Amino acid sequence: MRRRSLAGRVGAALALAALAGVAAFGALSFAVARSVYADANRFALAESARALANLAAEVFAEPGQAGTWAARAASGSGFRLTLVAAGGAVIAETRADAAAMENHADRPEVAQALAGAPGWATRRSATTGVETLYAAAPVLRGGEPVGALRLSFAAPELAARLAPFALAFLAAAAVSGAAWAFAARAVGKALVAPVAELAAAAGDWAAGRLTRRAGRAGIPELDALAGVLDDMAAELDARMRESESRGRELLSILDGMGEAVVAVDAALRVRRLNPAARKLLLPGFGSDSAGRSLLEALGSTALAELAAACVKSAEPLEEEFQLYRDERRHFLVYAAPLGAPGAPVEGAVLVLNDITRLRALEQVRTDFVANVSHELRTPIQLVKGFTEALRDGAVDDPAEARRFLGIVSRHAERLEAIIDDLLSLARLEQAGGGNLGYARAKVHLPLAEALAALEARSVGATARVSLECPAELEADCNPGLLEQAVLNLVDNALKYAPDTSPVDLVARAEGGKLVIEVSDRGPGIAPKDAERIFERFYRLDKARSRDSGGTGLGLAIVRHIALAHGGTVSVNPRQGGGSVFRLEIPLRLEEGKNRGDAWAQREEGVQESQETGE
């Protein structure tokens, strides 16, 4: 059902009120007029009865003439005339048979007239059956009442005489009511128009158009209300703009965070998550995770239990978890309740901080300390043992003393080599790929210097090494570090290849990179060891490595030198047996970019190495 407008309601209410007022006024006016008219008729009827009573005294002396007299007295008047004897008997009646009528002594007006005073009454006539107005006067003879004369007038006849006045009243009321209804409608519209304007303004505000201002109607009260609402809209607009700005700022912060942020409701359904969190979700849920359960989205029962405990306790919680995707990752998870202080908890916010690298680095550090301790313990114990043997008497045997001193010297040199390599690694890590003295250099020079250094260590050691490098080949590099890397690679090949097998050292330009390859004919490297061989202290054959004087750090130094130049180092099987170590660095080094890339790769390499080790 269609609802009526406010203007229609106000107009109708005012019109009804006006019509009710007019009707009430008309009814009251008609009632007053009728009362006045009735009183006037009553007075006239009573006076007429009194006048006729003065003429009726002789009738009561001759009762036989009473009927004739009564008919003659009432003729042409429209009144009903009744003559009542002193005992109440009706002796004459103009509208009925007097003989058939009952005694009227008990009629109020007749009783009062028989008592000597005029009387009147209004009631339904027992004779005619209609509402009748009665007036009675005493008939006196010698000052004493001998009877009563009563005149009566039917009420319908009175109403008929008042009908023209009633119609006039009704016509006046109708005209007045119409005028009042029209005026009420106009007033209703005038009152509702500014309210409608305020409603339209409020609709625009609800739709977000807060720059809309309410009009003024010229009514002080409504204009004051419009001013307050305009101020409220302006304040709301400012607050919404500030809220939107803060919301955008918060979203930018969330989107820019490296930590995964997930907001869930009290039922542990995902409400919001940032891009970092989407990368952690199960396949197919990344772009449609809102509304899904936390367990379904992240696949971690322990994480869902932490969120449930946070919602239940309304207290911040912190715990470390492992999540499994393509690989195992460690997360430090902070859960905080979501909701206003003192209000029921609406959910929880989970911040997942990826500490996989941190845990990997901690493991690397632990392994490094253990490896260093192990590598240093053996030569130190040997030096200590043979020193004690010399002190206990072996020094008196020249042959034994020389042999023991040779062993002590050899292991002291091993200690020195380990410490030198550790210092080299420390310098490379502290430099972080910067301030390493890059220069444009002929590549064959550091390669030749590396072979010369090996020859100086052991005469004839490089006789089976073939060098192939174009004389014009140049690269941006640190010549000293490049020499160190090549020296370590060639030395490694000479140690593990058969004594008579050749070692090939080749340098060339390939795709904008300097490629240096060292090929040997040794036992080769299994695929499972190919990645880990560049870790510190990783050995394929631990006993042989120590016997050959290796420190377990040579290839790790090569890897760090490659990374410092923005390059890589790898090992692959050689066709026909043996291994090929391949060192790649850019021919032209963009220091800012490549150094950053290199050391990022170094971090990934540390992490990968640790995960492989686990």
Per-residue DSSP letters for 336-402?
Answer: EEES-TTSPP-EEEEEEEE-HHHHHHHHHHHHHHHHHHHHHHHHHHHHHHHHHHHHTTGGGSHHHHH
Is-contact 470 508, C-beta < 8 A? Answer: yes
pLDDT score at 144: 86
pLDDT score at 5: 59
Separation between Cα atoms, residue 108 and residue 148, nearest integer Å: 12
Q: Which residue has the tokens 């680095």?
A: 361
Instruction: Please tell me which residue, 526 or 133, carries the higher pLDDT value.
Output: 133
pLDDT at residue 159 greater than cutoff 80: no
pLDDT score at 64: 77
What Rg do the C-alpha atoms of the chain give, in angstroms? 63
pLDDT at residue 606 greater than cutoff 70: no
Amino acid at 410: R
Is-contact 321 331, C-beta < 8 A? Answer: yes
Give Cα separations from 254 to 294, 306, 321 (angstroms).
19, 21, 22
Separation between Cα atoms, residue 164 and residue 172, nearest integer Å: 12
Beta bridge partners of 197: none
Separation between Cα atoms, residue 307 and residue 271, nearest integer Å: 13
Amino acid at 159: A
Is-contact 551 414, C-beta < 8 A? Answer: yes
Beta bridge partners of 151: 81, 135
The answer to which of 122-136, 468-482, 541-555 has the lowest mean pLDDT is 541-555
Beta bridge partners of 571: 581
Spatial CA neighbour of 492 closest among 545, 433, 532: 545
Considering all CA atoms of the chain, what is the largest pairwise distance in Å, rounded to the nearest integer? 199
pLDDT score at 543: 46
pLDDT score at 371: 62
**Run of H or E including 580:** strand 579-586
pLDDT at residue 392 greater than cutoff 60: yes
Could you please report the per-residue DSSP string of 399-439?
HHHHHHHHHHHHHHHHHHHHHHHHHHHHHHHHHTTSSS--E
pLDDT score at 357: 82
State the chain's mean pLDDT as an integer: 77
pTM, rounded to two decimals: 0.45
Read off the pLDDT of each residue in 399-422 and give the average, rounded to a whole number. Answer: 74
Give Cα separations from 302 to 46, 238, 353, 432 (angstroms).
111, 44, 16, 39
The answer to which of 4-8, 175-179, 190-194, 293-297 has the lowest mean pLDDT is 4-8
pLDDT at residue 237 greater than cutoff 60: yes
User: For residue range 432-473, what is the model confidence (pLDDT) as tens digits?
Assistant: 555 566 788 898 998 888 888 877 766 566 677 888 999 899
% of the chain exceeding 70 in pLDDT = 77
Name the DSSP letter for residue 293. B
Separation between Cα atoms, residue 272 and residue 274, nearest integer Å: 7
Q: Angle at CA 500, nearest 5°, toward 495 and 503?
A: 60
pLDDT score at 594: 43
Burial environment of residue 284 by CB neighbours within 10 A (0 to 12, 13 to 18, 19 or more): exposed
pLDDT at residue 266 greater than cutoff 60: yes
Separation between Cα atoms, residue 213 and residue 200, nearest integer Å: 10
pLDDT at residue 510 greater than cutoff 80: yes
Amino acid at 288: D
pLDDT score at 434: 54
Residues with Cβ within 8 Å of residue 446, at least 6 apart in sequence: 477, 479, 480, 482, 483, 486
Amino acid at 213: R
Inter-axis angle of helices 398-431 and 356-391, nearest 10: 160
pLDDT score at 608: 46
